Homo-oligomer: A and B are copies of this chain.
Amino acid sequence: MESRTLEHLLTLEDLRQLKYRYLRSVDQKDWDGLADTLTEDAVADYGTPAMGDRLLLEGRDAIVSFMRENLGPGLISVHAAGHPEITVNGDTATGTWAFTDTVIVPEYQIVIQGAAFYQDTYARGDDGTWRISRTGYDRTYEAMVSLSDLPKFKLTSNKWATVDQ
C-alpha cells in the first residue's frame, strides 16, 4: 500500500519536476540540461512512425546525441505531458503520463501532431537525485499535415528562425 506521508508527496513532486525539466530541455534544445535528467544507462523507446521504424536508444549519450541531431533548430517541437500517475517503490518509481506533441518543420512544410501515453521508470542515485532510467511511449495516434494544403498558413514567430542551422 502506498504510504500516506509527507515524504511520499515530496517524492511525487521531485518526480514531476524531473519530467518537466526533461520536457523543457527537449523543447528548448538544451542538450546538457537533458543529459542531467537521465541515468547513464537510461533507455529511450520512442515510437515515431512518421520518422520511420520504432526507435530504441540505449544509454544517456545515445539519447542525447539522437536528440541533438534530430531536434535541431530546423524544427520546432512542443511536448506537453500531464495526468501523472506515479508509483514509488523505494529508490525506483514508475510513471504514466498522457502526452501530446506538435512538431513543425518549416523547410519541409509539414506539421506533425500526435498523442501517446508515456511509460517511464525513475531511479534515485547515490547522490539522492532522481533521474529517468527508462522512457518510452505507446502512441494513440500521429498525423502529418502538409502546409501546401494551407497556402495562407503563416509562421508569425519561431524562436529558432535566426539560429544558425
Given the known A-B contacts A9-B6, A115-B78, A154-B144, are A24 and B159 also in contact in the complex, defined by CB atoms under 8 Å?
Answer: no
Tell me the residues in window 148-165 of chain A with beta carbons closer than 8 Å to chain B beta carbons. 148-159
Q: A66 to chain B: which residues have CB within 8 Å? A: none
Q: A146 to chain B: which residues have CB within 8 Å? A: 150, 152-153
B47 touches A157 (CB 8 A): yes
Q: How far is the CA of A50 from the CA of B154 in the complex (A)?
A: 9
Q: A20 to chain B: which residues have CB within 8 Å? A: 83-85, 98
> Is A145 engaged at the interface, CB distance under 8 Å to the other chain?
yes
On chain A, which size bracket covers the interface? 35 or more
B145 touches A85 (CB 8 A): no
A-side interface mostly = strand
Given the known A-B contacts A100-B78, A100-B80, are A142 and B115 also in contact in the complex, defined by CB atoms under 8 Å?
Answer: no
Q: How far is the CA of A20 from the CA of B10 in the complex (A)?
A: 20
Q: How far is the CA of A143 from the CA of B144 in the complex (A)?
A: 16
A residues near B (Cβ < 8 Å) are: 4-6, 9-10, 12-13, 17, 19-21, 23-24, 27-28, 47, 49-50, 76, 78, 80-85, 96, 98, 100, 102, 104, 112, 114-115, 117, 138-146, 148-159
